[in-house]
């Protein structure tokens, strides 16, 4: 289980006292077609700079497709991705040299221990020598695996494997860190601590957190991009998204027998059973009932509202 630590991820000596490097990733009209009927992405455009971008959308929205394109694993059918002005499809090495990537289906070699695995991953990235061994020790400390460093990875829990995953993504002190569904399958406490780790690691780099879990984005992201069915729906700061549903969120307590009827008429974001009935949170332009009262919105309310508006054809 992840334990919060104050151990920093050190900056390599070559970057000390230097001017900040340019860090601009531009995604322009990117589309990905898998067959005649299925598009993973359609005309996706986004500009990214330092900070944590939360890429939020339902399962199957196109998040992993975008992550694989940004990680130079697959190529777009149309459009372009540039890193500091260079097309990554034509010249991927510039981005790969500063890229850290934790895919959704990250796997490990069960017979290797954490140190051996990270040494292997470092070799693949062209890293070796005393500095790399020191880097591995530092990262194992950061992800709280120093005591388990010689244990075979096959005996690690899911959360421990995820921490090995983030350590391998950070081996080259990346300027771009991409993590795809990093907390899926983790227990609630482990998820919270993993989110905190990602926040601590952001610093002067671009971090892209792809997930369908709203609380992960709410806890870490400085900007949020909502995606559904391959389309970018909106890109905004969390405060702006919350403002978009201000005055549109209501609480209303109804008998249990009426829940399904209410769901058929209104967008229900959450339910809570009480001694008086079931307290519903409803996202609606107007009060669903004279007994309903207006409440402050949450990011989940805003997320569901934008998704519903898009599917109802009401977003520009």
Q: Residue 206 is encoded by which pair of tokens?
A: 């671009």
| Residue 265 confidence class, pLDDT cut points 50, 70, 90 | very high
Name the one residue in this structure whose structure tokens are 């879990």: 213
pLDDT in tens, 227-240: 999 999 999 999 99
pLDDT band at residue 225 under the 50/70/90 scheme: very high
Closest CA to 285 of 315, 248, 312, 245: 248
- For residues 207 and 198, is the Cβ–Cβ distance under 8 A? yes
pLDDT > 70: percent of the chain: 92
One domain, residues 66 and 172: yes
Instruction: Say whether both 251 and 156 belong to one domain.
Output: no
Residues 269 and 227 in one domain: no
Whether 133 and 256 share a structural domain: no
**To the nearest whole number, what is the mean pLDDT of the chain?**
88
Whether residue 22 sits in one domain with residue 106: yes
Question: Within this chain, do residues 149 and 273 fall inside the same structural domain, yes or no?
Answer: no
pLDDT of residue 20: 52
Q: How far apart are CA 275 and CA 264, in angstroms?
A: 24
Task: Please indicate, yes or no, if residue 282 is contained in any of the structural domains.
Answer: yes
Cβ-proximal residues to 151 (8 Å cutoff; 6+ apart), any chain: 113, 114
Mean pLDDT for 43-60 is 93
* Residue 5 is assigned to a structural domain of this protein: no
Tell me how far apart the terminal alpha carbons of the chain are, to the nearest angstrom. 44
Q: How many domains in the chain?
A: 2
**Residue 201 CA to chain centroid, in angstroms?**
13
In this structure, are residues 103 and 179 in contact, taking their beta carbons and an 8 Å threshold?
A: no
In a domain, 165, yes or no: yes
Please give the Cα distance from 269 to 252 (Å, whole number): 12
Say if residue 109 is in the same domain as residue 254: no
pLDDT reported for residue 36: 80
Q: In terms of domains, do 176 and 253 share one? A: no
Tokens of 65: 């497709």
pLDDT > 60? residue 280:
yes
In a domain, 303, yes or no: no
- Dist. CA 245–CA 291, nearest whole Å: 20
The pLDDT tens digits of the residues spanning 161-218 come to 888 998 999 999 999 999 998 887 677 877 887 788 778 777 788 999 998 888 888 8
Cross-strand pairs, 180: 210
For 106, the 3-state DSSP assignment is: coil
Does residue 1 lie within any of the structural domains?
no
Which pLDDT value is given to residue 79? 97
Same domain, 207 and 168: yes
* 167 in a structural domain: yes
Residues 194 and 56 in one domain: yes
Q: Which tens digit of pLDDT belongs to each residue from 59-108?
A: 889 999 999 999 999 999 999 999 999 999 999 999 999 999 999 888 88
HSE-up of residue 295 (Cα within 13 Å, Cβ side): 19
**Which residues constitute the domain of residue 158?**
13-239
* Three-point CA angle 4, 198, 244, nearest 5°: 120
User: According to the model, what pLDDT value does residue 21 have?
Assistant: 65
Tokens of 96: 């790969």
DSSP conformation letters of 125-146: TT--SHHHHHHHHHHHHHTT-G
- Confidence class for position 11, pLDDT limits 50, 70, 90: very low
Measure the CA–CA gap between 50 and 276, rounded to whole angstroms: 48
Share of the chain above pLDDT 90, in %: 69
Length of the chain: 316
**CA-CA distance, 312 to 286, in Å (whole number)?**
17
What is each CA distance from 160 to 74, 105, 119, 170, 192, in whole angstroms? Answer: 28, 15, 17, 15, 14
The answer to whether residue 8 sits within a structural domain is no
Q: 247: which 2 tokens?
A: 């005055």
Is 162 or 295 the better-scoring residue by pLDDT?
295
CB 228 within 8 A of CB 75: no
- Categorize the per-residue pLDDT at 279 as very low, low, confident or very high, splitting at 50, 70 and 90: very high
Distance CA 300, CA 274 (A): 21
**Position with higher pLDDT, 54 vs 10:** 54
For residue 217, the domain's CATH number is: 3.40.50.300
Can you give the pLDDT at residue 311?
85
Q: What is the dihedral of CA 194, 195, 199, 200, to 10 degrees?
A: -30
* pLDDT value at residue 185: 67
Task: Give the range among 9-13, 83-87, 139-143 with minimum mean pLDDT.
Answer: 9-13
Say if residue 200 is in the same domain as residue 125: yes
Two tokens at 287? 């009060």
42 pLDDT exceeds 90? yes
14-26 burial string, b = 16+ CB within 10 Å, else e? eeeeeeeeebebb
């Amino acid at each position: 289980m992840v334990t919060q630590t104050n151990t920093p991820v050190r900056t390599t000596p070559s970057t000390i006292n230097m001017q900040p490097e340019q860090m601009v990733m531009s995604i322009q009209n990117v589309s990905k077609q898998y067959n005649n009927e299925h598009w993973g992405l359609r005309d996706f455009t986004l500009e990214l700079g330092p900070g944590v971008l939360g890429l939020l959308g339902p399962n199957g929205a196109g998040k992993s497709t975008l992550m694989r394109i940004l990680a130079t694993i697959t190529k777009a059918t149309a459009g372009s991705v540039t890193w500091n002005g260079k097309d990554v499809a034509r010249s991927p090495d510039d981005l790969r040299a500063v890229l850290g990537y934790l895919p959704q289906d990250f796997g490990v070699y069960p017979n290797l221990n954490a140190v051996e695995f990270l040494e292997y991953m470092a070799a693949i990235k062209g890293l070796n020598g005393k500095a790399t061994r020191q880097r591995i020790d530092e990262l194992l400390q950061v992800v709280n695996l120093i005591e388990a460093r010689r244990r075979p990875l096959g005996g690690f829990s899911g959360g421990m494997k995820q921490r090995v995953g983030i350590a391998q993504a950070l081996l080259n002190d990346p300027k771009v860190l991409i993590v795809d569904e990093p907390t899926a399958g983790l227990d609630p406490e482990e998820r919270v601590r993993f989110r905190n780790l990602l926040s601590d690691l952001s610093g002067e780099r671009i971090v892209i957190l792809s997930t369908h879990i709203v609380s992960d984005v709410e806890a870490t992201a400085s900007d949020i991009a909502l995606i559904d069915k391959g389309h970018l729906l909106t890109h905004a700061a969390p405060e702006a998204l919350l403002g978009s549903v201000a005055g549109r969120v209501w609480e209303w307590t109804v008998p249990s027998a009426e829940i399904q009827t209410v769901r058929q008429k209104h967008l229900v974001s959450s339910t809570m059973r009480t001694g008086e009935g079931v307290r519903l949170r409803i996202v609606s332009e107007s009060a669903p009932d004279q007994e309903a009262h207006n409440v402050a919105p949450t990011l989940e309310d805003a997320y569901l509202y934008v998704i519903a508006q898009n599917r109802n054809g009401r977003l520009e």
